[in-house]
Amino acid sequence: MPNVLVLLTGSIACFKACTLISRLVQAGVTVQTVATPAALRFVGTATLEGLSGRPVFTDVFEEGRALDHIALARAADLALVCPATANTINQLAAGIAGDPVGTLFLAWELESKPWWIAPAMNAWMWKHPATAASIATLKSWGVRVLDPVEGPHACGETGPGRLAEPELITAEILKTLGARPPSAASEM
């Protein structure tokens, strides 16, 4: 059974990540969720645990979980940061490990296992030179970027930066892992 890390960061698009998690579990994928403190302001641990059936990794200093960033990185077949905010993208490109996402990224075997990001942010944040440079850096390290789409944003503006639809992301993950998609009858 494939094992996927879904790492959530602080964006309103966290609600779409919940749909993604549900679809992956329905397809037989073991999903381990990881959430930054900012992500937990948009979606709670009870939701993530209910969807994945597993405790959420949220704090690298939690008692009994000091080495989870290593163990989770070794156990997973694929990691996906979804949604990936501009802040997280820039931190990853700078090698900053101030939260569970950053520590997992630095512990990840980039040359042998896929690490993906699915960005979600305001159009101007997506177009900003700092974000563009960080995306280029991450791609040069082998990180796959599931490009955001164009459309309306929660802020009321329109443009590129919307999170790709959960169905598209699910299909890409299942194709990469050689897993079967869930049937339409079992959808969330």
Q: Catalytic amino acids?
A: 155
Calpha distance 78→116 (Å, rounded): 8
Calpha distance 100→12 (Å, rounded): 19
Please enumerate in sequence order all residues whose Cβ is within 8 A of that of 181, keeping only pairs 6 or more positions apart, or say none. 23, 27, 170, 171, 174
Calpha distance 186→122 (Å, rounded): 33
CB of 10 within 8 A of CB of 34? no
Q: Are strands 144-145 and 78-84 parallel, antiparallel or unpaired?
A: unpaired
